[in-house]
């Protein structure tokens, strides 16, 4: 078996990123999150696991949290675009596999400790991490088509 090494100038490749795709992925993050944690989505289940009613959080706290979540969604979309671009994914299928693998290793795996130390259930872990699975899968497909 022969190992091949691809030489690159940069470890993270920023050239070639489609910033319109990043903005679209950011909108996906916000839209899916708005539904996911809404009364039409999984707010009731989230409240069951946390004891927190999202609709009863004080306005100033809610606004600060929402701003942080929206900004972190942009960071996540950009980071995923950079990683997929740096990996030089060549198809939607490759992008999807890479995105799901990144979710599994960087989101799901790291969420286990946080969830269990917070004394939350595996159902709570799945509720939160599956949101990121959906978002990363959709956005990986989007980047695979647009990068």
Q: Is residue 88 part of a domain?
A: yes
Q: Is residue 103 part of a domain?
A: yes
Q: pLDDT per residue over 115-141, tens digit each?
A: 999 999 999 999 999 999 999 999 999
Q: How far is CA 117 from each of CA 109, 127, 133, 140, rounded to the nearest angstrom?
A: 14, 16, 22, 30
Q: Is residue 5 part of a domain?
A: no
Structural domain containing residue 141: 19-146
Q: pLDDT per residue over 51-105, tens digit each?
A: 888 778 898 998 999 999 999 999 999 999 999 999 999 899 999 999 999 999 9
Q: Is residue 100 part of a domain?
A: yes
Q: Is residue 3 part of a domain?
A: no
Closest to 146 measured CA to CA, from 17, 42, 37, 23? 17
Given this model, what pLDDT does residue 26 score?
97
Q: Is residue 75 part of a domain?
A: yes
Q: How far is CA 19 from each of CA 26, 49, 79, 85, rounded to the nearest angstrom?
A: 10, 37, 12, 12
Q: Is residue 133 part of a domain?
A: yes
Domain count, the chain: 1
Q: Is residue 137 part of a domain?
A: yes
Given this model, what pLDDT does residue 53 score?
85
């Amino acid at each position: 078996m022969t190992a091949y090494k691809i030489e690159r100038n940069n470890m993270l490749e920023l050239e070639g990123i489609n910033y319109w795709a990043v903005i679209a992925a950011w909108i996906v993050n916000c839209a899916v999150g708005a539904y996911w944690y809404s009364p039409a989505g999984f707010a009731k289940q989230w409240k069951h696991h946390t004891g927190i009613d999202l609709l009863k959080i004080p306005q100033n706290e809610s606004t600060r949290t929402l701003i942080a979540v929206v900004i972190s969604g942009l960071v996540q979309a950009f980071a995923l675009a950079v990683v997929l671009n740096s990996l030089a994914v060549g198809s939607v299928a490759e992008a999807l596999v890479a995105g799901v693998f990144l979710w599994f290793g960087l989101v799901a795996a790291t969420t286990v400790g946080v969830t269990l130390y917070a004394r939350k259930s595996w159902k709570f872990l799945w509720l939160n991490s599956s949101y990121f699975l959906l978002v990363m899968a959709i956005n990986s497909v989007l980047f695979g088509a647009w990068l």
